[in-house]
Amino acid sequence: MIITELKDINEIYEQIKPYSKILIAGCDGCCQPPRSLNEAKVLGQLLELKARTEGKKLIWKAITVLRQCDDRIAATTCRPFAEEYEAILSLACGLGVVMMNKVIDNILTFPAQNSHFGGVQNSSENFYIEYCEACGDCIIGETGGVCPRAGCAKHLSNGPCGGMVDGMCEVGGYTKPCAWVDIWKRLKKFNRLDLFKKYRGPRDFRLSTSPGYKDIYKEYTNEEEKKEEKV
Amino acid sequence: MAKRPAYSNLCKKIQEGKFVITGELEPKKILDLSEILHGAEEMKKTGKIVAANVTDGPQGDAYMSSLVPSYLVQEKVGLEAVWQVTVRDRNRVALFGDVTAGAVLGLKNILVLTGDHTALGDHNRARAVYDIDSTQFCEMLSIMIDQGTDYEGNEIVGGKIEMNYGCVANPNSNPREPEVLKVGRKVEQGVDFIQTQTAFDVDDAKDFLKELEQFNVPVLLGIFPLKSHGIAWYFDNYIPGVSVPKDLLKALKKAEKDNKGDKKGKYAALDKINIEFFEPFIKEIKKSTKAAGIHCMAVEYERLFGPLLKDF
């Protein structure tokens, strides 16, 4: 899931201030905490109040989209009535906001949220946590299933660093566990300290250079081979 | 351990079997290096200090780069520098650039560090780099020095890099096993020496040194003489994993209180406390461990070196 956080209401309002009629689009996709129809409606009411304090009237409509990051779903849901509005305010993650701008390209879509990371939910301890940063070169087979790239503040391949105190990380005031101590504990448990001792060479950042791009069909067709034959 | 020639005086002295002492200088948010150079001169005068570490943005703060002060300490004072380089602020391209520049300036020792995270420093909104980690930087240096190429194997033209490099280890680390295993990984990448974070507990330090013996690399144990109660308190509270013995903190506080208004008396009292604590400490380390020496982080406290080290 994509972990997001609502922007400050003043910041959201500043973005839509030039417009008097807006469409507020929730997203039923993977962004957490959920930002669906109800959240869109509440945001509309708040913005309406905010506009009223400035002596303005804001017309809004709340909808929700199954997944804003899917071009076909976003287009079929919003296109039929989007043009009635001057701007769209999206409650999706950054991916959804970009996709809405692409499929409804005659109206600007603004982000109501900040997107933080791809993470998981730890309900018992009440937090979201980043377990993977999509580096393009998965090494957790060597690290006991704990990712040192997403889990270590310094992204070390050969930790821990000197900032580890009593198993905790110097970043964040020693409140979060050191990923490398977790890795050591896991590998020790399975009697695989040989993996811990192993030296890991420098990371290949070409694998995660922005913008990420992968051909969807590349691995399922022989089109490319055919092209090469033609040449 | 790498069988690399000793290019630096520090490594030569270690190879000769001498018990070596290194000092530490800290360029801060400054343009005037006179205090740094004065500190280096004071160290040199004692005749006991083989080399002085020059720090690279400790605690993640934005300070003057360690390259030029390291050069000037060697050039103007004639004291060898241990040039500290962290991987926090530079990617492998910039590290290559700096190391070759340092080689041209005649620097002979590099101390490889990960570096305190920028989130701890005075520019805590900055992006931390950590393109390669300290172990990978050790590998990169070994390739540059021993094979004469950059990290990707492209030849470095017009000479040979004659440098030795060391890594750090933390005797205060808890749990200790992953720290020791990590040092092992760095040793595999050819480090010539190890300098440790500061130790206050002599028995604990001895245990740690014993564990490092397996790697067969010279170790300089870190100590941190306490110039004032304020610094001791800061160190106790803000430096990761370091705790100053409570008796020592109390004694320093008392010495400052008893000599209020009497600068000379205060200095004498503080120096006495430090000498009484660290002299037996160093003696014990020298006598009963295989440590190659002591890394004495008496930053801006150079007056202590003479009396503290008179017997070493």
Q: Does residue A101 sit in the same domain as residue A137? A: no
User: Is pLDDT above 60 for A102?
Assistant: yes
Q: Are A166 and A174 in contact (CB under 8 A)?
A: yes
Best probe of the A interface among B125, B137, B173, by most A CBs < 10 A, is B173
Best probe of the B interface among A143, A156, A180, by most B CBs < 10 A, is A156
Residue A121 lies inside a defined structural domain of this protein: no
Spatial CA neighbour of B49 closest among B85, B17, B6, B13? B13
Q: How confident is the model at residue A213 (pLDDT cuts 50, 70, 90)?
A: confident
User: Is pLDDT above 50 for B2?
Assistant: no
Q: Does residue A79 sit in the same domain as residue A153? A: no
Q: Does residue A150 sit in the same domain as residue A88? A: no
Domain residues for A167? 133-199
Q: What is the mean pLDDT of chain B?
A: 95
A166 to chain B, minimum CA–CA distance in Å? 5
User: Can you give the CATH number for the domain in which A82 is found?
Assistant: 3.40.50.2300
Q: Where are the domains of chain B?
A: 9-244+281-308
Q: How confident is the model at residue B79 (pLDDT cuts 50, 70, 90)?
A: very high
What proportions of chain A, in percent to the nearest 5, are helix, strand and coil? 35, 20, 45
Distance separating alpha carbons of residues B124 and A180, to the nearest angstrom: 23
Count of Cβ atoms closer than 10 Å to residue B60 Cβ? 24
Mention every residue, 6+ apart, whose C-beta is less than 8 A from residue B282: B223, B294, B308, B312
Task: Specify the amino acid at residue B56.
Answer: D
Q: Does residue A152 sit in the same domain as residue A91? A: no
User: Is pLDDT above 70 for A170?
Assistant: yes
- A160:B168 CB<8 A: no
Closest partner residue to A162 (CB to CB) among B139, B170, B188 is B170
Give me the number of domains chain A comprises. Answer: 2
Residue A76 lies inside a defined structural domain of this protein: yes
Residue A181 lies inside a defined structural domain of this protein: yes
Q: Does residue A140 sit in the same domain as residue A112? A: no
Paired with A168 in beta bridges are A165, A177
The tens digit of pLDDT for each residue in A121-167 reads: 988 888 999 999 999 999 999 999 999 999 999 999 999 999 999 99
Spatial CA neighbour of B111 closest among B195, B213, B24, B226? B195
- B174:A170 CB<8 A: no
Q: Are A165 and A174 in contact (CB under 8 A)?
A: yes
B44 to chain A, minimum CA–CA distance in Å? 30
From residue A37, give the alpha-carbon distance in Å to each of A9, A71, A92, A104.
18, 19, 11, 20
Burial group, residue B172, by CB count within 10 angstroms (0-12, 13-18, 19+) = buried
Q: Does residue A158 sit in the same domain as residue A99? A: no
From residue B276, give the alpha-carbon distance in Å to each of B252, B270, B304, B307.
12, 10, 12, 11
Best probe of the B interface among A164, A182, A196, by most B CBs < 10 A, is A164
Paired with B85 in beta bridges are B112
Q: Does residue A112 sit in the same domain as residue A145? A: no
Interval A161-187 mean pLDDT: 95
Interval B106-121 mean pLDDT: 97
Best probe of the B interface among A133, A142, A154, A192, by most B CBs < 10 A, is A154
Q: Chain-centre distance of CA B192, in angstroms?
A: 14
Q: How confident is the model at residue B122 (pLDDT cuts 50, 70, 90)?
A: very high
Residue A204 lies inside a defined structural domain of this protein: no
Spatial CA neighbour of B114 closest among A181, A164, A147, A209? A164
Residue A62 lies inside a defined structural domain of this protein: yes
Query: What is chain A's Cα-based Rg?
Result: 23
- B173:A184 CB<8 A: no
Q: Does residue A68 sit in the same domain as residue A164? A: no
User: For the stretch A125-158, what's the b/e string if a residue is b when 16 or more beta carbons lie within 10 angstroms of its beta carbon?
Assistant: eeebeebeeebeeeebebbbebbbbbbbbbbbbb
User: Is pLDDT above 90 for A100?
Assistant: yes
Mention every residue, 6+ apart, whose C-beta is less than 8 A from residue B306: B45, B46
State the number of CA atoms in the 13 A half-sphere of B258 facing the CB.
12
- B114:A163 CB<8 A: yes
- A170:B117 CB<8 A: yes
Distance separating alpha carbons of residues B230 and B249, to the nearest angstrom: 9
Residue A156 lies inside a defined structural domain of this protein: yes
A21 to chain B, minimum CA–CA distance in Å? 37
* A80 prior amide bond cis, ω within 30: no
State the number of CA atoms in the 13 A half-sphere of B209 facing the CB.
27
Q: How confident is the model at residue B185 (pLDDT cuts 50, 70, 90)?
A: very high
Q: Is residue A75 less than 8 Å (CB to CB) from chain B?
A: no
- Give me the pLDDT at residue B241, please: 74
* Residues of chain A positioned with their CB less than 8 A from the CB of B182: 158-160, 180
Residue A104 is given by DSSP the state S
Distance separating alpha carbons of residues A91 and A16, to the nearest angstrom: 13
- A199:B188 CB<8 A: yes
E-strand ranges in chain B read 20-25, 49-54, 80-86, 109-113, 164-169, 193-198, 219-223, 293-296
- Give me the pLDDT at residue A163, please: 93
Residue A82 lies inside a defined structural domain of this protein: yes
Structure tokens at B54: 């020059």
Q: Does residue A7 sit in the same domain as residue A104? A: yes
Q: Is residue B176 less than 8 Å (CB to CB) from chain A?
A: no
For the question of an ipTM over 0.90, the answer is yes
Q: Is residue A204 less than 8 Å (CB to CB) from chain B?
A: no
Distance separating alpha carbons of residues B208 and B176, to the nearest angstrom: 9
Residue A161 lies inside a defined structural domain of this protein: yes
- The residue of chain A nearest to residue B171, with distances taken between CA atoms, is A162
Q: Which position has the token pair 């017309």? A: A59
- Given this structure, which CATH class describes domain B9-244+281-308? alpha beta
- Give me the pLDDT at residue A125, please: 82
- Give me the pLDDT at residue B136, please: 98
The interface residues of chain A toward chain B in range 120-159, judged by CB-CB distance below 8 A, are: 153-159
Q: Which position has the token pair 């040793």? A: B187
* Residues of chain A positioned with their CB less than 8 A from the CB of B178: 159-160, 180-181, 184, 196
- A166:B92 CB<8 A: no
Structure tokens at B93: 């391209």
Q: Does residue A112 sit in the same domain as residue A10? A: yes
